[in-house]
Amino acid sequence: MSTLKVNLPQKSYPIWIQKGILNHIGQEIKKIYKNRKIAIITDFNVEKLYGERIKEQLSTDFEIKMIVVEPGEKSKSIDVLQNVYNELLEFEITRGDLIIAFGGGVVGDLTGFAAATLLRGISFIQVPTSLLAQIDSSVGGKVAVNLPKGKNLVGNFYHPKAVFIDPDVLKTLDKRFFSDGMAEVIKYGCIRDQKLFDDLLSYTEEELFEHIEEIIYTCCHIKKSIVERDELDTGERMLLNFGHTLGHAVEKHYKYEKYTHGEAVAIGMYHITKKGEALGITDRTTAERLKEILCKYHLPYEMPTMDQEEIIKIIGLDKKNKGQYMNIILIKKIGESFIQKIHRKDIVAYI
């Protein structure tokens, strides 16, 4: 078992990473939670595969309520949130009770937001089941739901009481969604860890799974270190957005239907790296290596044909890019990233 601790001024919490931890998660939760009631929020896919297992683990010692939402981004809505609030209130949950987010990024963000706001805050635990959630969204406290005007527009920072990561559940993850998570794993290599990048490039599929616990640990370690230094995303944490500015534009242009988040980020990372090379900022051959690793993990790299004006408009609408200046994340070489503040009018050189 590998453990990490996220140390923040107001709160510290552990991240437990272990193959098979789901088979003894009841014991682990008993150590850190002493009340009776637990609401588990999940989606139908995860419930079908692992619902019985988590219930078995928890129902001897706790009073359980399972709230199951539809899988997919549509569940990060105010309507679904309201249903979740209703179900939690019907369960007569109190501020001393516990909520578990058992699923991927959508379930994690929705549950975290419900936990942060209902009764002015109820403790919650993250049990992420997708690779993306295990290495990114379950750590760092970002919780949110979407509005018709855009993604994650209502949200906050609300950290879990603990994160339990079982890499074994990735065995049942759809191949496309495994690759989706791999895009963010590759991102950590690009921004902070050349060894991780080189290892990913050299692993066979079998070796990747042999090392998956260590890979998740490495990513969570990078993320928690960055979050500890910049919890509220005003500086260093922005490095985690490498590839995301263009990625968001691609996702939005295709109405979040054609590309997964990771696929769009893969395109964004490659494109900005190529631009970085052309501008003499990024070492030559970096984009080529990035292309090689993206292809290896079945990720796209080529920017689809999109009108430049439209890209600029979408980037301008992004809530993170208000004002005259905006921040672009670039890499000098694999493992070394930095934030470049640019004037809005200069964005065209980077797209």
Give 93-106 as a DSSP string.
--TTSEEEEEESHH
Q: How far is the CB of 230 from ligand GLY (least distance, A)?
A: 9
Q: Is 228 in the site for ligand GLY (CB under 6 A)?
A: no
Cα–Cα distance, 13 to 230 (Å, whole number): 16
Q: How far is the CB of 223 from ligand GLY (least distance, A)?
A: 7
Site for ligand GLY in 239-298 (CB under 6 A): 240
Site for ligand GLY in 122-151 (CB under 6 A): 136, 140, 142
Q: How far is the CB of 81 from ligand GLY (least distance, A)?
A: 20
Of 76, 237, 248, 291, the residue at the interface with ligand GLY (CB under 6 A) is 237
Q: Is 192 in the site for ligand GLY (CB under 6 A)?
A: no
Distance from the first to the final alpha carbon of the chain: 43
Q: Quick one: DSSP state of residue 131?
A: H
Give the count of residues interacting with ligand GLY (CB under 6 A). Answer: 6
Cα–Cα distance, 241 to 250 (Å, whole number): 14
Q: Which is nearer to ligand GLY, 166 or 184 (CB)?
A: 184
Site for ligand GLY in 29-48 (CB under 6 A): none
Strands (E), the chain: 2-7, 12-17, 37-43, 63-69, 98-103, 123-128, 142-147, 150-157, 162-165, 325-333, 336-343
Q: Which is nearer to ligand GLY, 64 or 181 (CB)?
A: 181
Which residues, in sequence order, are CB contacts of 19 under 8 Å at separation 6+?
A: 166, 167, 168, 213
Q: Is 212 in the site for ligand GLY (CB under 6 A)?
A: no
- Distance, C-alpha 269 to centroid of its chain: 16
Kindly list the residues in this chain that would bind ligand GLY in the complex (CB under 6 A).
136, 140, 142, 233, 237, 240
